[in-house]
Structure 1
């Protein structure tokens, strides 16, 4: 999940290469939504062995209420820190 700031706009997506996808979003080569709202911080990730499972979870989360998404992020990342340095390390 990408965000622009603490409790700001949230984007949910799926990728096989999270580091590359974050860089695409940051260089304005990602989705129109991310570009429009300036979402540059990776604030939450989940890892799956099968892409089908990841796609199912993405579709489910996109239907969630905003507060549920915030709660999910804050359980793992209460300060909404950018997680990119941790996935690229």
Structure 2
């Protein structure tokens, strides 16, 4: 079974929110921070990891990501603030 994570990155506290899914959270956030791929997160400079959730496996993570993408912005902000009230960049906390 492949690991699965859902995460939210932003460009500043309560700024643009991007929800993503990955099997390698540390590696994926490193890619966002270093602008490895062109696209939405690169264009909006979404490099700050503000929320993440271990879903156990990638299939479950994909389902969770799809549900979160339909949430209202206020619900996403509340989810972030439950885990990370200061909107700190959590990248250092996930480094192995």
Same fold (TM over 0.5): yes
CA distance in 1, matches of 2:56, 2:38: 24
Q: CA deviation at 1:31?
A: 5.5
Structure with higher helix content: 1
Q: CA deviation at 1:23?
A: 1.1
Q: Deviations over 1:14-47 (max 9, x none)?
A: 0111111111111211461100100110000000
**Which secondary structure does the structure 1 equivalent of 2:43 belong to?**
helix
Whether 1:48 and 2:55 are equivalent positions in the alignment is yes
Q: Which aligned runs of 4 or more in structure 1 are off by greater than 2 angstroms?
A: none
Q: Deviations over 1:31-74 (max 9, x none)?
A: 61100100110000000212111000000001111111001000
Q: CA RMSD in A?
A: 1.1
Structure 2: runs of 5+ lacking an equivalent: 1-7
Retained in 2: the 8 A contact 1:21–1:30? no
Under a length normalisation based on structure 2, what TM-score does the superposition of the two structures give? 0.88
Under a length normalisation based on structure 1, what TM-score does the superposition of the two structures give? 0.94
Structure with higher strand content: 2
Aligned pair count reads 89
